[in-house]
Structure 1
Amino acid sequence: MKEIIDFLETDTISATFSPKGLKYLSLKAGQDARRINLRLAPAEQEQNPLAGLVIRETLNFLETGKHDLPLDLSAFSSFQRSVFEVVSGIEPGKTVTYRDIAGILGKPGAAQAVGNAIAKNPFSYFLPTHRVLPRRGLGICRSGAGHLREKLLLREGHDLSKLRGNYVCTRKKCCLE
């Protein structure tokens, strides 16, 4: 049986969703809660009620750090789903390390596998992977993802000087999203 996939694109949000829930979400760079386009034609909302919900929950998440949107994790392995489940429980204002998550999952040597799972996060901010840090702390990032992570952590009240490590990350795609 073919899965029905719907797609939503506004000037600030791209989202893909299935009957099981959100499959992918991306906010275009530099957007915040005040600038998200909330206009959806009534016909579009009627055709796909999840479209309006995605936008409302995105705004809610940007304001509160929480959401009530179902996430479709069916494309991921059981290990990846377990990592996403742990990450989704990290409260705003808290951080953990990849090693911490591996330990919670009963796989203390799997910190790198946790990082690989987190790197595949298709849900933008709905899975708060910005709250998962390397054991040695935040690097001084030179990428857009690193700056975004820092903005999100600052918004949640973190003191970056206490989270920062003593290394400079110069990889093209440093700081996992």
Structure 2
Amino acid sequence: MGALLLGLMLAGCGVGWEGETSGEATGEVMFRSMPNPADDLQQAAQVTHSQGRQWTVPENATTVMVYRLTSDCEGYQPEPVQVAEAGALDQTVALILAEQPFPEFTLSGYRVTVDPDTKIVTIDLRVARTSRRVLNSLSLCEQKAMLGSLKETLVNHPDWEIEAVDFTNRGHRLIL
């Protein structure tokens, strides 16, 4: 009776017995892999988001390679994006920051300064006072998605000749 009840429970959970001989289970369990429904939604959102950026091409546009974090959080994938030539660096920073979908994390603003002598860009992030999360509470993957994407994009653009990117929070250097 107990084996029958266990078999019914396992069958209801997507688990079945494999390799039965003369009506007895051999004890090997076969697990069925269910696709993750979030994968399809995430792919659709990325395609829609990417298409949305490509529909509006500004006059005197220039192509910037925006480096986005890969799904395994291990590397960056370049993607061409069109931005206006005037203020391209600022627009690129705005685009990357606007794309960060972190729950309960809100920026109230940011400031970008470029030191032409040292070729260092400083991005001063302003976390909203109403934000439930702070920069230090972001996971490593979230930090890489936002800060790493900014750094990779700015440093790898040949026309800007940027050597380093520093991040501050309301003027205080970020230590993450």
TM-score, normalized by length of structure 1? 0.28
Instruction: Select the structure that is richer in helix.
Output: 1
Structure with larger Rg: 2
Instruction: Select the structure that is richer in strand.
Output: 2
TM-score, normalized by length of structure 2? 0.29
